[in-house]
Structure 1
């Protein structure tokens, strides 16, 4: 009886036909060399594409903000729709604390994306071990990891801040332990803990349980029952008494869809579908194929975020593809069918060449679509700098992305109000900073819509989906009876260009004639020209203000610099500049935002 019990406990998992696992020192060194090379490739490519702007994931900003809040022991409530994964946020926050990612990175987004890079490297290691445990050769296992390492779809997907990247690492860790030859009870207990961590990170990881259960039952039914009890106990606590703290929820569906991702690597989509079906024919791969097919089926379920599903499916299909390829190529042909065997080898060679060609064609368009960038700042960082220069110490109404970036830049979190704070009424704020289209947020939070009604667009950074708009709240409504300001600025500017005492660079003259100069600059330049000749080198743009339609409120004056400096530093009240700075190019005069209306009323009519 004891002997029978031991055989049940130590039963080896099914593996693919092949030369078997070799444990000599030479083969271990070869494995180490291959793994290190694959890890270097995986990490290096992801560093290069870390700041790629597209495809973008709307829920990423909320996850980054939650990670920052947990890492800095502060509170944050997202705008909704981004899902809930407190255990996943805790992992992200813990890693950023240990690695000081927020202190080293240019932006909060880049800091948390570093965690995704680490998760991708860990996933590559676990995928290698799992492939070897299933009987794949060094080169077949390397091909599976290589496919994940260099696929444009994988590069675009694994740079995004998704808790599913953490969940798949936990799930693969559990499967590596379960497929361990001679596994003991302690390995199965740790595997159960890993599976529980995967499910608490993302509910979609539940679909890895069929593969884990199948492997356990195949190896040792009694142990399978033990793992089931432990897992059910953990899930019962997490979804029961501790549900308010640990229970995860999926993010709402939205773009990018599976079709958007497949456009980066069409070959991955086709080969994955083939591998998922073909792997059912091989006993060693069948458990993984079943879980993979279940994950693929969830893409058809309304309301499920496709990006999250693909993040879990990403390492599974290359493993199946490599396993099927090895099993097919190593299938022996009887001696009396040697001619058939040669024809079969020819067909396999042609199929492999066609697959490689299809992959190459798909990647030739997928890589350019990712648009790698060395710029780690982005529009939000530009908006943060503008706010620091023009609205420091103000109360801000911000979206989830702006909350994380501004908090990381040192803005007090108590002075940042996210949209969730507008559930009943928005807290008092002087400025609003929002990315992209805010229509959805305004519909979800009527109080936010009220706060933004009548707000003045003051600065705009970026474009399209990455557009960041800074608005001034609480501005008085315009007087409908007042003459328009732009024509008055244009008429007064044209008068300055006609003055013999004012010399203008061509670009500066164009700014005046088009009515894009601040009325305080127009008035003071006219007054200064009565005292001395004036040379205007430029009206430098304040970053972000031209796209918002704000007049230029800076001027660079050359010649007679002592007189220019004395004139502007002696101004009072409405005409007092914010700064007067002597530079190597001349005197730079900057006025504060929002010139009072009506300064150029005499020029309102032609």
Structure 2
């Protein structure tokens, strides 16, 4: 039997060697997936509670974000500053004067640049709202994490997120472009990291960075510093406390110093002739700013501000304060309770100024305390022989009563946020301007529409944020005649709130006439045409023009060649139809019959002069053929020159519609 000698098997040189680059990359990739899977399995119960809270928060807050609340001036300012960063390469759309640190709108600018938000929204402020709502969702997740870090159950952590996200008071402010909304997630991150018990050097350093960013986003968040220090000192390990706290303090000082360095590099740290300065900005915010008045004065700013908060959600406010008082007995919640109570008392300091968004910083901690106190009370009731059972029963009872009262209130309020279109008046006024004013005319506006008008073709110098007409030397230099250089002023509730604070703006309002009105009450927006001779003289001129229109219209109404409805004939005899339209119809009637479909009213001009004319036939021939102007209609349009030239000519079905520009003076000799 023969045997075959087999060649010994040679070992694979790659056995036991390092994997190839491709294999290593794949391994790392699969390793990352495995680690993610392990993490998700470990935190499955947390995600089961947290994800629905985030989804509900996103749906409720994003639904109808363009309809409610109505855009306000502050939103327009921060949005315009963010837009200036990304589109103009400037720190602000006007002279930056250190009223707030710029980091807040720089973050909004970064978000809009990364996501293309300004290009996706027709209304610029809505791009800013998207950014702050994303910040609110991040805050929900961080608030959940902080609640769990403080030992609260998953159900209580979820309740914290729901309270923070869905309270009508919270929804009102989550949807508003305030710098405070951008600062909240940084503040929550700072407290979360400050409660870390492992790796405290990195955690405390991160907490200091996060808190520094929150303060450079909105300076009022500096008020939370004593409470963050308190939490850090309580959390710090004795053996490393001095080192970790020193590092955190040093980082915080360095971050704060960066703002001073910015001003110093620009030569604007100290005040000087014809320049802004950081010192002046701080002095204004802390000292020279007019106070909010007395709470006993029903017309004071503090009274109106507190009234607005209370109207939105009195249940949340009451429960937050009660929970803060109760949480003084709970060591883990005590710093947050003192924070809420101390900052509530701070609002009522004599002569102080209370910003409307001040409450934004308190909302997450109010939600945390409500859920935390109830969670603690329920846990105590479950333990046999636990002390203070009457207090726990009382806490649960108060929470139950609050929930019963809150359900119908929240349902009504949230229904309004989801269904109401409170911004329709501002949109209407903005669209009216774009359709009826020319881009070479100068307009004084609420800052909420500044970016939209500039994007629509106005030169930025011709769109004047009303606040700047009385306060910015650069704007005043471009308007040597003050209010007289303006053509239109668009008034909003923000502009009407401080009638004596802006003399030039008030002069423009007093020397103007209303040409279009949208909405009513505090949502009302008026488009006013500035009259150089004053509103009194304009009223006289308009009255004389109305009498002239009535006389001319009465003559035209008897002309058998003019075919129109009885209602339109009555409008002619009442002097409600623009005299230029009367003159055009009289000329056409002299050459043959003319069929008038009507005098369409321009949106917002109800009760004003009809300045549109819809024609269906001229001399028996249609004005529109195959969707285009007929020869007779083209000849008519070409013949209208000078004061008779329409501002626009459009086709509406079988009619040609001529629109004449707004006039507050007699237009015919």
Q: Specify if TM > 0.5.
A: yes
Kept in 2, the 8 Å contact 1:383–1:461? The answer is no
Deviation at 1:380, TM superposition (A): 4.4
- Where in structure 1 are there 5+ consecutive unaligned residues? 1-22, 601-606
Match among 555, 561, 576 for residue 614 of structure 2: 555
Aligned partners of 2:664, 2:253: CA distance in 1, in Å? 66
Match of 1:29 among 13, 34, 44: 44
Alpha-carbon displacement from aligned partner over 1:240-275 (angstroms, at most 9, x marks no partner) = 774556977478754751231122212101110111
1:393 alignment partner, SS class: coil
- Give 3-state SS (helix, strand or coil) of 1:204's partner: helix
Residue 314 of structure 1 and its aligned partner are, at CA, apart by: 0.5
8 Å CA contact retained: 1:79, 1:400 = no
Determine whether 1:402 maps to 2:449. Answer: yes
Cα RMSD of the aligned pairs, angstroms, is: 3.6
Displacement, 1:97? 2.0
Is 1:261 equivalent to 2:309 in the alignment?
A: yes
Measure, in 2, the Cα distance between the counterparts of 1:285 and 1:371: 34
CA distance in 1, matches of 2:415, 2:609: 35
How far does residue 472 in structure 1 lie from its aligned partner after superposition? 4.1
In the alignment, which residue of structure 2 is the partner of 1:17? Answer: none
- 1-structure distance, mates of 2:616, 2:522: 38
User: What is the CA distance between 1:465 and its match in structure 2?
Assistant: 3.4
**Which residue pairs with 1:77 in the alignment?**
94
2:329 corresponds to 1:281:
yes
Match of 1:303 among 352, 361, 369: 352
Measured after TM superposition, the shift of residue 337 of structure 1 is 8.7
Q: Which one of the candidate residues 331, 341, 365 is aligned to 1:316?
A: 365
Equivalent position SS for 1:330: helix
Distance 2:144 2:120 in 1: 31
* 2:591 counterpart SS class: coil
The residue that corresponds to 1:119 in the other structure is 135
> Which structure has the larger Rg over C-alpha atoms?
2
Instruction: Pick closer, same or farther for the CA change 1:345–1:461 going to 2, 3 Å.
Output: closer
Shift of residue 570, structure 1, vs aligned partner: 2.8
Q: What residue in structure 2 maps to residue 177 of structure 1? A: 193
Which of 389, 402, 408 aligns to 1:355? It is 402
Question: Aligned match of 1:163 in 162, 167, 179?
Answer: 179
> Residue 139 of structure 1 corresponds to which residue in structure 2?
155
Q: Which residue of 2 aligns with 1:18?
A: none
Aligned counterparts of 1:587 and 1:560: Cα–Cα separation in 2: 12
2:599 counterpart of 1:539: yes
Give 3-state SS (helix, strand or coil) of 2:312's partner: coil
2:123 is aligned to 107
- Larger CA deviation: 111-120 vs 409-418: 409-418
Q: 1:393 aligns with which of 429, 437, 440?
A: 440
Q: Who is 2:57 aligned against?
A: 42
Q: 1:66 & 1:511 partners in 2: Cα distance?
A: 47
Superposed, 1:502-513 pairs within 5 Å as 502-513=562-573
| In the alignment, structure 1 residue 209 sits paired with structure 2 residue 225 | yes
How far apart, in 2, do the equivalents of 1:481 and 1:169 lie? 57
Distance 1:483 1:125 in 2: 62
Instruction: Quote how far apart the aligned CAs of 1:321 are.
Output: 1.4
Q: 1:598 to 1:372 in 2, by over 3 A?
A: closer
Quote the offset at 1:285 in angstroms. 0.7
Task: Give the Cα–Cα distance (whole angstroms) in 1 for the partners of residues 376 and 71 of structure 2.
Answer: 38
- Using a 3 Å threshold, how does the CA distance of structure 1 residues 397 and 147 change in structure 2: closer, same or farther? closer
* Superposed counterparts of 1:211-230, under 5 Å: 211-220=227-236, 221-222=241-242, 223-230=244-251
SS at structure 2 position matched to 1:315: helix
CA 1:131 to 1:530, structure 2 compared with 1: closer, same or farther past 3 Å?
Answer: same
Cα pair 2:118 2:124 within 8 Å, conserved = yes
Evaluate the alpha carbon distance shift between residue 306 and residue 397 of structure 1 in structure 2; reply closer, same or farther with a 3 A threshold. Answer: closer
Distance 2:487 2:252 in 1: 49
1:131 match: secondary structure: helix
> What's the CA shift for 1:239?
5.1
Per-residue CA deviations over 1:117-174 (Å, capped at 9, x if unaligned) read 1111011010000001111111110011111122111111211111111222111011
Which deviates the most, 560-569 or 196-205?
A: 560-569
Q: Show the counterpart of 1:93.
A: 109
Q: Distance in 1 between matches of 2:429 and 2:255?
A: 45
Q: Distance in 2 between matches of 1:333 and 1:588?
A: 76
| TM-score (normalizing by structure 1) | 0.83
Cα distance change of structure 1 residues 530 and 159 upon mapping to structure 2, 3 Å threshold: same
> Do 2:60 and 2:418's aligned partners in 1 also have CA atoms closer than 8 Å?
no
Farther off after superposition, 462-471 or 65-74: 462-471
Maintained 8 Å contact 2:554/2:573? yes
- Whether 1:270 and 2:318 are equivalent positions in the alignment is yes
1:187 match: 203
CA shift at 1:227, angstroms?
1.7
Which is worse superposed, 474-483 or 150-159? Answer: 474-483
Q: Flag the 1:496–1:143 CA change in 2: closer, same or farther, 3 A.
A: same
Note the 1:493-508 alignment, pairs <5 A: 493-508=553-568
Counterpart Cα distance in 2 of 1:314 and 1:586: 56
Higher normalized contact order (CA 8 Å, seq sep 6+, divided by chain length): 1
SS at match of 2:204: helix
TM-score by length of 2: 0.76
| 2-structure distance, mates of 1:596, 1:90 | 46
Q: Which runs of 5+ in 2 are unaligned?
A: 1-37, 264-268, 270-276, 293-300, 480-484, 624-631
Label 1:589 to 1:407 Cα distance change in 2 as closer, same or farther (>3 A): closer
User: For residues 385-424 of structure 1, what are the alpha-carbon distances to aligned partners after superposition, in whole Å with 9 as ceiling and x for unaligned?
Assistant: 5335531333444442332331243433243333425556
Structural mapping, 1:375-394, within 5 Å: 378-380=425-427, 382-384=429-431, 386-394=433-441
- In the alignment, the residues of structure 2 paired with residue 482 and residue 472 of structure 1 have an alpha-carbon distance, to the nearest angstrom, of 13
Which segment drifts farther, 173-182 or 233-242? 233-242
Q: Deviations over 1:42-71 (max 9, x none)?
A: 111111142344477553332222222223
CA separation of 1:229 and 1:588: change in aligned 2, threshold 3 A: closer
CA distance in 2, matches of 1:585, 1:129: 64
- Name the SS for the 1:535 alignment partner: strand
2-side partners of 1:189 and 1:211: how far apart?
A: 16
Asked if structure 2 preserves the Cα contact closer than 8 Å seen for 1:493 and 1:513, the reply is yes
Q: 1:271 to 1:49 in 2, by over 3 A?
A: farther
Which residue does the alignment assign to 1:594? 663
- For residue 460 of structure 1, report the CA deviation from its aligned partner: 3.7
Change (3 A) 1:240 1:588: closer
After superposition, residues 359-374 of structure 1 pair within 5 angstroms as 359-368=406-415, 370=417, 372-373=419-420
Name the CA shift for 1:56/1:572 in 2 (closer, same or farther; >3 Å): closer
Number of residue-to-residue matches in the alignment? 574
Alpha carbons 1:407, 1:413 under 8 Å: kept: yes
